[in-house]
Each structure stands twice: as structure tokens, then as C-alpha cells.
Amino acid sequence: MAASPRTEKFAAYLRMLKERSGRGYDRLGKEAGVSGSSLHRYCSGLSVPADYRVVHAFAKVCGASAEELRELHRLWALADSERDTPEPTAEEEVQTGPAPEDVTPPQITLDQDVVSRRSWLPRKLSPRWAILAAVVAVMLVAGFVWLPSENTAGDAPTGDRVLDSPGCATVSMGEHDECVREVQSLLVRAKGKLAVDSDFGPETLRRVTAFQVLAGVTARGVVDEDTKKALYAQKVSMVTWSPDRVAKRIREVFVEDPDTAVAIARCASFLDPLYVLPNTNGSRNWGVFQISDARLRELGGTPLRAFDPDWNIKAAHRLWAVRHDFHDWPSCQAALKNTPKS
């Protein structure tokens, strides 16, 4: 079966990195911690790895830059999104295809309906009819004034809130429309760092998930009703530490090996305290040192605590102290050992 366009773009990017490295599949696989045959399948577009960490490790040993890693993650997420998408059947394709050009839209004639609805009206209002019409009008106006509105519970009127429109019932990965632009604009208003381009890609997914954690709503990565309310309430701030401050604190905590610790964190999260990496098995990695859900439970932490850079760095040091090495970050550790020094 031929690879989908998204999978082929992902595979082409992998091939570009592989060819630029000048190394073979077996050697790259050994350095990245994956078999050479698996790398060959990924680069050929025959399969997409379920865990992005494999891709990240491969790219790092190929010497990928930060920008290339971001682009590769975007392509992987798009290719991976098609993993469980069923192929449309012939019947579905017919139903969802364009209408034949020779089909004339039905014409709606209102003349008869209008006549029937007007037939009860007198041709000319008598004084009695005029008085009756005036009384009915007054009663209707009074009724509208008396009837309670839908906002009596204290809800603010929606106004121009784009996300309250029917077309924005939920907003999720892969969409490209005004609903996504509104989500991105609201995240930027909350001091989240991302581009407003109407494209719900991996970066928007990370920021939405981080916002949900900070807002205390279910972190599904999908903009649902609770998330919309939190976005419009404008009570959540996504302001966090700068990369320089993060690096400074890492050096203070990892006094035993500060340079490697900073390099590991930069590899894992680009020193972004609100970085989130979702895995296809449903688990996620959080914060500066990308601490996994399983490790968080062991450390007595939560995703919210993992977003506190000081807690995250100290927690990472606790993991390091078990064997005095960076065994919890095998992909980044392998990449650092095999990336040429500039």
C-alpha cells in the first residue's frame, strides 16, 4: 500500500536528515537506540513510529537543529494522526463527493403559501380590527418584557465570541480555520507563546494542553466547553521562566554536571517550562526535563507541579541521583554523545 502524502512528507524529512549525516541505518540505529531495519522502514514511509522519542533520538544523532526538530515533530504528528483513520469506502466517497453538474437545485415557490397565510386578513382594517390589533401588539410587547431571558442566571452575553458558534463545537488537532485562530489568539492573550496562523498543529496542541492544566480543566488537548469558558474568562496566565533563567537554575541544582544537565534539558524541552510532549499511547511528558506520567506518580507530582520549573529541575535531580547519570533521558543522552561539538 502506498504511503499517504503526510507519511511520505515525514519519511522524506527523515531521509534528508539521514543522508546529511553521511551514516548508514545500522550505525544511526545503534546511536539512537533503535534497530537499523526500523529506521529503514520509517525513512521509506512503510510505517510511522508510535513513540516520538524514537524520532527525536534519530534526529539528534543526525545533528538536527532546534528548528528542524520542531518541523520534524509537526510532520510526525500529522503522519501519526492518520494511524487510526479508516480509509473511506466507495459509498462514502460517492456521498461526500461534489454534486453532479447536471443536477438542477429544486426551486421553492412561496406564492401559494403566502396567499394561504394572508387569506384570513381583511382587505382593509375596520376600526374594530385596528383596536384589536393594537391590543394584541401591547400584550405581545408586555409578554416579551416579562418573560425571563436566558441570561438571568448571571451568564455574560456571548457577543462576538467565535468559539460559541456551532461550527466551533470542539477544536482539535489537524483543523485549520477561524476557530483555531480564535483559540490561538486567546492563548496569546493569556501570554502563551505561539504563532497565530489558524493551524492546529503540535505547537498549538502543546499550548492548549498546558493551558488546560493551568486552568484546572481536563487536559485532553481538545478545546471543549470547559476550556472555552476558561479561555474567555482570562484568569489564567501562561507567563513562566525564560530559557536563560531555566539554564541558570539547572546549573545551581546540578552542581555535579551542570553543562550536561543544561544540554539534556535543552534537548528535551528547549528549556521551555510549559513544554508538553504527547505520546500515542496516551501518556505525556511534562516541563523542563519532560518528566513522564509514570515518573510523576513515583515522585508524588502532578502535571501542574511539573510546570513549576524549580520543582521540575529538583525532581530531575532526584532521578539523576539514583545512579548519578542521565539514564532517564536515554534519547538525549545518546544524542549528546554522538553529536559533533561545534
At 331, the pLDDT band (50, 70, 90 cuts) reads confident
List pLDDT tens digits, range 236-291.
999 999 999 999 999 999 999 999 999 999 989 999 999 998 776 778 999 999 99
Choose between 33 and 47: higher pLDDT: 47
List pLDDT tens digits, range 48-101.
887 777 888 888 889 888 778 878 888 888 887 765 444 443 333 333 333 333
Phi and psi angles of residue 160, each rounded to the nearest 5 degrees, phi first: -100, 30
- Write down the mean pLDDT value for the chain: 79
- Burial of residue 9 (CB within 10 Å: 0-12, 13-18, 19+) is middle
Helix (DSSP H) and strand (DSSP E) numbers for the chain: 17, 3
DSSP class per residue in 232-256: HHT--------HHHHHHHHHHH-TT
Most confident of 138-152, 176-190, 269-283, 320-334: 176-190
Choose between 301 and 68: higher pLDDT: 301
pLDDT (0 to 100) of residue 237: 97
Contacts of 17 (CB under 8 A, 6+ apart): 58, 59, 62, 63, 64, 68, 72
pTM comes to 0.61
Choose between 59 and 317: higher pLDDT: 317
Task: Using alpha carbons, list the distances in angstroms from residue 69 to 11, 61, 202, 282.
Answer: 14, 12, 12, 21
Most confident of 112-121, 181-190, 195-204: 181-190
List pLDDT tens digits, range 123-168.
444 555 555 555 444 444 444 333 333 333 334 344 589 999 999 9
DSSP class per residue in 63-105: T--HHHHHHHHHHHHHHHTTTT-PPPPHHHHHHHSPPPTTPPP
CA–CA separation, 129 and 127 (whole Å) = 5
Q: Are 309 and 241 in contact (CB under 8 A)?
A: yes
Average pLDDT over residues 170-181: 94
Q: What is the share, in percent, of the chain residues with pLDDT greater than 90?
A: 49
Task: Using alpha carbons, list the distances in angstroms from residue 4 to 40, 76, 78.
Answer: 17, 13, 11
Place of cell 530531575: 316
CA–CA separation, 52 and 338 (whole Å) = 19
Q: Are 291 and 315 in contact (CB under 8 A)?
A: yes
Q: Are 289 and 268 in contact (CB under 8 A)?
A: yes
pLDDT (0 to 100) of residue 179: 97
Contacts of 215 (CB under 8 A, 6+ apart): 227, 230, 235, 236
Q: What is the share, in percent, of the chain residues with pLDDT greater than 70?
A: 74
Phi and psi angles of residue 75, each rounded to the nearest 5 degrees, phi first: -65, -40
CA–CA separation, 304 and 233 (whole Å) = 19
Per mean pLDDT, which range of 4-8, 225-229, 288-292, 302-306 is the poorest?
A: 4-8
CA–CA separation, 80 and 43 (whole Å) = 14
Domains and CATH numbers, the chain: 5-80 (1.10.260.40), 162-233 (1.10.101.10), 243-338 (1.10.530.10)
